[in-house]
């Protein structure tokens, strides 16, 4: 089946990267809305417009399912897209439930973009999990622009994260939830700053399990051994990516994700 992965930018590659490992026999489209990234600091209405535009394009590519590999777009627009289209649409959810299942009664720092942090969807999730006293929320919107510039462990990134994290006593926390798909690129820098017991949790596995369920796909356990690469076509805001320069850029991000995978 042809499955589309959509993000404001290159963050969604972290979900695609995981999908390449467990669904190597599917065909993928990756759509980064590079003309409009970042989404996280825009208004909900603007993000909804961008997402509607991207969906029009993706549905016309005859895909069997769309993964909104972006927490911000999920928060602002997934409900509207599900009302409009009947194909399976899978969104992202910050992995708070997983954090609390794994480490009950320890606090979790939920990091995401401004829109996700202030959005109703996250507040509803926290209420549903009864997690008010365990979940602290922090917008790290600037990481999105660092990631788009391929700046992952510079002094500026490190200083920014040190400053943002200085507000917390991490001995009370079990984990940091990466509630923005752009944040996976910074796991080594975060590892360097935070105490060793802090775990990093993202929503990639949960999202892909949901895709597998809704689209009737089958996980391939063999993929890790055979190293088979699925067919992927890349688009930037509806324009097919064909230049060697841009394809090399995308490959570098995927290589970075390989390095971050086990952290």
Query: Which residue stretch of 37-45, 205-213, 230-238, 253-261 sits at the interface with ligand DGL (rule: CB under 6 A)?
Result: 37-45
Nearest residue (CB) to ligand DGL, 39 versus 55: 39
Query: Which residue stretch of 36-44, 131-139, 162-170, 211-219 sits at the interface with ligand DGL (rule: CB under 6 A)?
Result: 36-44
Does 204 engage in binding with ligand DGL (CB under 6 A)?
Answer: no
* Residue of 70, 110, 125, 260 interacting with ligand DGL (CB under 6 A): 70
Contact partners, residue 222, CB within 8 Å, separation at least 6: none
d(CA 90, CA 92): 7
Which residue has tokens 């926290």? 126
The three-class DSSP label of residue 205 is: helix
Strand ranges in the chain using DSSP code E only, listed in sequence order: 2-7, 27-32, 65-68, 89-90, 107-112, 135-139, 173-178, 199-202, 231-236, 239-240
Q: Would you say 260 and 185 are in contact if contact means Cβ atoms under 8 Å apart? A: yes
Does 203 engage in binding with ligand DGL (CB under 6 A)?
Answer: no
Nearest residue (CB) to ligand DGL, 50 versus 173: 50
d(CA 136, CA 198): 14
Cα torsion through 145, 66, 60, 248, rounded to 10: 40
Query: Which residue stretch of 31-39, 58-66, 102-110, 251-259 sits at the interface with ligand DGL (rule: CB under 6 A)?
Result: 31-39
* Residue of 20, 28, 40, 257 interacting with ligand DGL (CB under 6 A): 40
For residue 141 the two structure tokens come to: 């919107």
The answer to whether residue 70 is catalytic is yes
The DSSP symbol for 228 reads P
List the interface residues with ligand DGL, window 123-182 (CB under 6 A): 144, 180-182
Nearest residue (CB) to ligand DGL, 24 versus 92: 92
Nearest residue (CB) to ligand DGL, 38 versus 88: 38
Does 184 engage in binding with ligand DGL (CB under 6 A)?
Answer: no
CB nearest ligand DGL: which residue?
40
* Residue of 7, 26, 93, 202 interacting with ligand DGL (CB under 6 A): 7
Q: Would you say 44 and 115 are in contact if contact means Cβ atoms under 8 Å apart? A: yes
Nearest residue (CB) to ligand DGL, 72 versus 189: 72
* Residue of 54, 96, 116, 204 interacting with ligand DGL (CB under 6 A): 116
Which residues are paired to 89 by β-bridges?
A: 66
The answer to whether residue 21 is catalytic is no
């Amino acid at each position: 089946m042809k499955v589309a992965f959509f993000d404001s930018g290159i963050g969604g590659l972290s979900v695609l990267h995981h999908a390449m490992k467990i669904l190597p026999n599917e065909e993928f489209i990756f759509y980064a809305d590079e003309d409009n990234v970042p989404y996280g600091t825009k208004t909900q209405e603007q993000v909804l417009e961008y997402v509607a535009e991207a969906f029009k394009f993706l549905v016309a590519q005859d895909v069997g399912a769309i993964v909104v590999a972006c927490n911000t777009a999920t928060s602002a627009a997934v409900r509207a897209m599900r009302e409009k289209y009947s194909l399976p649409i899978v969104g992202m959810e910050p992995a708070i439930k997983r954090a609390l299942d794994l480490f009950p009664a320890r606090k979790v720092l939920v990091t995401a973009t401004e829109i996700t942090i202030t959005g109703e969807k996250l507040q509803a999730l926290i209420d549903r999990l009864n997690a008010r006293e365990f979940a602290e929320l922090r917008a790290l919107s600037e990481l999105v622009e660092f990631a788009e510039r391929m700046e992952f462990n510079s002094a500026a990134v490190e200083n920014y994260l040190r400053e943002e994290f200085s507000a917390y006593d991490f001995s009370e926390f079990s984990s940091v939830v990466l509630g923005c798909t752009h944040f996976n690129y910074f796991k080594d820098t975060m590892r360097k700053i935070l105490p060793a017991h802090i775990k990093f949790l993202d929503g990639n596995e949960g999202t892909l399990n949901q895709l597998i369920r809704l689209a009737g796909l089958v996980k391939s356990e063999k993929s890790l051994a055979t190293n088979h690469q699925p067919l992927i076509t890349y688009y930037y805001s509806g324009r097919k990516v064909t230049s060697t320069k841009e394809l090399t850029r995308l490959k570098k991000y995927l290589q970075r994700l390989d390095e971050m995978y086990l952290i």
